[in-house]
Amino acid sequence: MTDRCIDFHCHLLPGMDFDGTDSKSESAKMCKLLKTQGVATICATPHFYAWDETVDAFLARRAAAYDAVRSLYGDVRIVLGAEVQLYENLHEAPVDRMCYGDSNVLLLELPDRPFGAWVVSAIENTVFKYSLIPVIAHIERYGLRTEEIRQLAAIPRVIFQITADTLKDRRMLPLLDRIASMGVPVVLGSDAHNTSSRPPCFDTVGNCLAEKPRLFDSSVKKAQALIQNCLGSQEILEKLIFTPARTKA
């Protein structure tokens, strides 16, 4: 198992999310767990809802949360970002200020409502306005039909993120395999929120890679192929994030 994995989606910062940790000590424990699971870089991506607070208020809260715990994370590299929920007029908010680090790569979450024609338009309006590269958070979670996933896959430069823990659910492998076969880079995230109900789960990656498939068990090979695909795409996204495309205002 590599010790240089990147967790592209993690709710690590305390006090940022209604369903996340409020404890500095638990945040530090989450970081330590991810490190033992092979993660060298964690992208801290708290939820952002444009109708709930301004970008300035969100960034101030995020900075305060990070400053309160940054000394507890040791040598794990932390990249600040956000999980920005999509809505029709998202392009009206300066969401480019919430990209990963100083990059132009933005993590987007689809809303909990039926997929409509407005979804692709809203994403394209936002990414075209700010010259962004969109990462669709936990693409496997929305119950999308294949054609709907294809519509998202057709968005220029789009990247899909899947949740590492789903790799151990063999019922999910056909869907994940279908997503990975669409020619879109696919990367991993823990989407961890705490150490109890939604803990870090990158050990799934190492466990899947170490597993030896039985003679007639193709699911293990499929999981391993998916992971190799994700680790390859990680290198693409890593270069985009750590080679800043612009300087933020």
Identify whether the C-beta of residue 8 lies closer than 8 Å to the C-beta of residue 190: no
Q: What is the 3-state secondary structure (H, E, C) of the chain?
A: CCCCEEEEEECCCCCCCCCCCCCHHHHHHHHHHHHHCCEEEEEECCEECCCCCCHHHHHHHHHHHHHHHHHHCCCCEEEECCEEECCCCHHHCCHHHHCCCCCCEEEEECCCCCCCHHHHHHHHHHHHHHCCEEEECCHHHCCCCHHHHHHHHCCCCCEEEEEHHHHHCCCCHHHHHHHHCCCCCEEEECCECCCCCCCCCCHHHHHHHHCCCCCCCHHHHHHHHHHHHHHHHHHHHHHHHHCCCCCCC
Per-residue b or e along 43-80, where b marks 16 or more CB atoms closer than 10 Å to that residue's CB? bbbbbbebeeeebeebbeebeebbeebeeebeebebbb
**pLDDT number for residue 214:** 80
pTM check: above 0.85: yes
**pLDDT number for residue 113:** 86
Tokens of 173: 């492998």
Q: Using CA atoms, how far apart are residues 60 and 232, in angstroms rounded to an integer?
A: 34
Tell me the sheet residues that pair with 163: 189
Neighbour tally for 131: CB within 10 Å: 11
Instruction: State the residue for tokens 């409509």.
Output: 116
Q: Using CA atoms, how far apart are residues 11 and 9, in angstroms rounded to an integer?
A: 7
Identify whether the C-beta of residue 6 lies closer than 8 Å to the C-beta of residue 202: no
C-alpha angle 192/48/66, rounded to 5°? Answer: 65
Identify whether the C-beta of residue 180 lies closer than 8 Å to the C-beta of residue 227: no
**pLDDT number for residue 4:** 84
Chain-centroid distance, C-alpha 238: 13
Residue 74, amino acid: G
**What is the full per-residue pLDDT of the chain (249 aa) written as tens digits?**
456 899 999 999 999 999 899 999 999 999 999 999 999 999 999 999 999 999 999 999 999 999 999 999 999 999 999 999 999 999 999 999 999 999 999 999 999 888 998 999 999 999 999 999 999 999 999 999 999 999 999 999 999 999 999 999 999 999 999 999 999 999 999 999 999 999 999 999 999 999 988 867 888 999 999 999 999 999 999 999 998 665 544
**pLDDT number for residue 215:** 67
Per-residue b or e along 176-197, where b marks 16 or more CB atoms closer than 10 Å to that residue's CB? beebbeeebbbbbbbbbbbbee
